[in-house]
Structure formats: C-alpha cells, structure tokens
Structure 1
Amino acid sequence: MSYFTKDFIDFFAALANNNHKDWFHANKKRYETSVKNPFEKFVEAMIQEIQKHDSNVQIGPKECILRINRDIRFSKDKSPYNLHYTAFISRGGRKDKSIPGIFLRFSPEMIGIMGGCFGPSKEQLQKIRTVISENPTAFRKLIENKDFVKKFGAIKGDKMKRIPKEWQEVCKKEPLIANKQFYFVAEETPDLITSNTLVDELMNYWKVMGPVNEFLTKAIS
C-alpha cells in the first residue's frame, strides 16, 4: 500500500524556498492532505506491524510524531518549520527518546532510520556500561551480526574525553564502554516514501535493529 503521493516531497521542496508562516498558512490544507494525514496513517500501520512482535508498544501515532514547527528559542536560524517529518516509534514514544525504538525522518533528500539509545540519562548510561562490562562478548556478537553491520554499520555516539578509573580496564576489552550514546543510523533514498513496499522495507530495518534495541532496553530497565 502506498501512503504518500509525490506531493509529500514537493511540499517540503517548496517549503524550503518559502519557510515562513504566511506561505505555510496559505498551504495548510495541502500540508494536511499530503503530509500530516498520510504520515499519521503510515505511523499507525508501522505501530500495528511492530505490535505483532512487541506487545509492549502501546502508543498511538500522535504519541510518536514530532511537530513540524522548529524550536527556535536558542537558534540563530529563525526559520519556523522543519524541512522533514519525523516519528519516534518505541515503548515510550517521542516524549522519552532514551527508550530504544525506531526513529524515522522523511525528507526530499532521504529517509533517515535510527535505532538505539540516543539520549540516556546518567543513571541509564551507568546501567548500559555495567551490563556491557559483564558480558562484552554477547554485546559484541550483536553489533557484529552481518545483517546489522550491512544495514547500520557500527554503533555511534559521543565519547568520554576522560575515562574514569573504574572503566579503564574494561574499555581495553570493549572500547564502546566510553560512549555516552549508543545509536546507529541508516539511510534510504526518498523514492521509497511513495513506494508500495514502504512499511515492509522499514520493518526489515526494525527487525534487524531489534536484538540491539532489546539489549539496551533491558540494560536501562
């Protein structure tokens, strides 16, 4: 099933050249028809597919989809609207990005796909490091799985500048202990947005990221 028409991409391409409130309000109906409403239906379909494998995901589309409005309070760029549409589908939804799930960003340039733990708290980070240190071989096996590497490459994240004494020895065995984030990313071409196989293709990514997401979810619980 196709959820989007080409106007999803065309809308954002036009918005890039008219990123102001007057243009957006003049094109509000177009936005709702080509972007907002089909994206909600798409996210609902993704949630339903994910629930077949994870019954703990009990959220609706509105709990996953981020606003198109930018937070410009502390930004030099005062453009009011994002040039992409984004959803975070997880057990916690968009309000808790520390809980691993699948993060999707649709834009005219690409589909961005991210998983893992992007914003763990200090306490959650301590738990992740502890669990990895207790069984570094199991963690390494998950992130070196050939399907995971093919789709996502490697775990990303900022690292500690100074490694505390308590972690120095274990960091020699598993350098990712030094990470302050544990996330991974992939990209698809924007033509997938209008494809009939959109949900199936993205569910393939969700299934591949699943074991790593579950490892991190158990660690922070």
Structure 2
Amino acid sequence: MTASTKLKASPVKPNEFTGFPEQGFRFLRQLKLNNDRDWFRERKADYDQFVQRPMEALVLAAAAECRRRGLPLHAKERSPVMRVYRDIRFSKNKQPFKTHVAAEIRRDFVASCCMLYIHVAPEESFVAAGVWQPERPILRGWREAMVKQPARFEKMRRALTSKQLSLGGEHKLSTMPRGFQNYAQHPIGPWLKLTSFVTHRPLAPSLCTSPDLLPAVVDFAIAVKPLLEFGWHVEDSQKAVGTKKLREEDLW
C-alpha cells in the first residue's frame, strides 16, 4: 500500500495487540537500507499499519494493565508512540528516520521523567525503567535522596537484584560529583557517581512477535516498581521544596 492509497485508520484499541507482525520487522530492516524521505513517504501506510499501530496498542494495553495492578502509569495522550523522525539539527548523521520504534509510559508527561521505556528493533529489543541522563536539578535530587535515605535506596537496589535486575553503570563519573566528595568511602559512594539510574531487560525477537510480549512488559513494570517509586519520591520531594520556596518568597 502506498501513501496515495492510504485509508483512514480506525482508533487503536488496547485489546488488539497480538504481537508485532513480521511485516513490521521487515519494514524496519528495509528502512535501515533505504533511509530517505522519498522511500519512506511511499510506504508510510505500511509503517503506520505494521509498526506504529502495534506499538500503540501495546503501550495502551500495558499502561491500562499497570494501573489495574496499582502502578499509576499512562501512555502519552495524543502521541503514545515516539516520533520516527530523527532530530538531525546537531547530528553528523543526517539520516532522517529512526530504524526502531519506541514508546514511554510515565506517571505524567509534565512533571515526571521517571518512566517505563519500550524499544523494539530487528537488532535489539528491550524494556527499561528509571531516569536516563536527567537534567542537573533532577540528578542532584536523586543524589540528595540517596545520602539522606541510604537505607531506602539500598532496599530499592536489593529489590531489583532479587528480580535479576541491576542499575546500569554505563553512564557514570570517574570521580565523586561536586558536593558529595565526603561520601567517597561511604557504601553509597559508587552509586552517587551514576548519571543515569536505569535498569533494563532484553526482549527476544520471538517474544516481540507474540502476544506474550504484553504480560512480559507488565511483569517488568511490576518488578521495577521500587525503582519507579524511588524516582517519584525524588520528584515529589523536589516539588515540595519548590512550593515551600515559592511561599517564602511570597512573604516578601
């Protein structure tokens, strides 16, 4: 089907997810070999049907099931699936399209950056959770929460370990961050060097094409609940501090 013959699609329903179709993986592999606007434009309807729509159904269903099981997670209301178009303004790589499909599920999309992230690609698929390369105020908030409540952080970390998950150390400083040098010999010290607080689980290709992908994503979300809740605790604490400062300023 070409763009010229595209029909208006019906709204996506969460219960329609039955796994990613093989046509979706085939499209992404072909896109990697033909990453240009003309090729994509002629096949946009195929992308919508075999890539974007299955991901949207997965995200809506996963978010709904997470809420049913006590996790306040939501898909982005108007655009549940992340854009296929790359931001090439400051990149040496000028290829216009991503060759994967991804989506985020968050507590909210205004004041929360702690998330569940789903990434599907022919080469590698995975589901992840936490905060990746957050802005400085958020990163500092995590570190302050860790030194104020080290037992709470350690409990969260052990909960992940019990599920065969760990906080990745791919993004970290070589030295202690400014303001936290006194914790270099503290058990929390190595974790303060992290610049991302993320854990992930790989998704096999056979799982991605199966209806079982949905419960696998939800089970992961339940497993990382302690990490998400720690992140929300950090965000809520920062909101409270910001509100307190605002009220103090209003007195003058």
TM-score by length of structure 2 reads: 0.77
Cα distance in 2 between the residues matched to 1:189 and 1:3: 12
1:41 aligns with 2:54: no
Once the two structures are overlaid, the 10-residue window that deviates more, 83-92 or 161-170, is 161-170
Task: Specify the code of the residue in structure 1 equivalent to 2:44.
Answer: K
Gaps of 5+ in 2: 1-16, 237-252
Quote the residue 1:209 is aligned against. Answer: 224
Deviation at 1:170, TM superposition (A): 2.4
* Matched letter for residue 79 of structure 1: Q
Compared with structure 1, are the counterparts of its residues 192 and 114 closer, same or farther at alpha carbon in structure 2 (3 Å cutoff)?
Answer: same
1:7 aligns with 2:23: yes
The aligned residue for residue 45 of structure 2 is: 29
Specify the structure having the higher radius of gyration (Cα): 2
The aligned counterpart of 1:169 is 182
Give aligned-pair identity as a percent.
Answer: 24
Find the partner of 1:180 among 195, 198, 213.
195
Q: What is the Cα deviation at residue 2 of structure 1?
A: 1.1
Q: Distance in 2 between matches of 1:169 and 1:11?
A: 52
1:190 maps to 205
How many aligned positions are there?
Answer: 217
Contact 1:109/1:189 (<8 A) preserved? no
Q: Which runs of 5+ in 1 are unaligned?
A: none
2:167 maps to 154
What corresponds to 1:136 in structure 2? 150
1: CA distance, partners of 2:177 / 2:229: 27
8 Å CA contact 1:128–1:219 kept in 2: the answer is yes
Q: Does 1:17 align with 2:36?
A: no
Of 225, 235, 241, 1:220 maps to 235
- CA–CA distance in structure 2, aligned partners of residues 56 and 24 of structure 1: 36
Does the CA-based 8 Å contact 1:171-1:178 persist in structure 2? no
Inter-CA distance 157–92: structure 2 relative to 1 (3 Å threshold): farther
| RMSD over aligned Cα atoms | 2.2
| Residues 20 and 14 of structure 1: CA distance in aligned 2, closer, same or farther (over 3 Å) | same
- Report the Cα distance in structure 2 between the residues aligned to 1:30 and 1:180, rounded to whole angstroms: 38
Alignment-mate amino acid for residue 103 of structure 2 = A
Could you give the per-residue CA deviations for residues 13-51 of structure 1, whole angstroms, max 9, x where no partner exists? 111111111111111121111112222111111111122
Partner residue in 1 for 2:8: none
3-state SS, counterpart of residue 78 of structure 1: coil
DSSP 3-state at the match of 1:144: helix
Residue matched to 1:110: 124
Greater mean alpha carbon deviation, residues 190-199 or residues 54-63: 54-63
What is the alpha-carbon distance in structure 2 between the residues aligned to residue 161 and residue 55 of structure 1?
A: 35
Whether the 8 Å CA contact 1:44–1:60 is kept in 2: the answer is: no
Deviation at 1:163, TM superposition (A): 2.9
Q: Which amino acid aligns with 1:181?
A: S
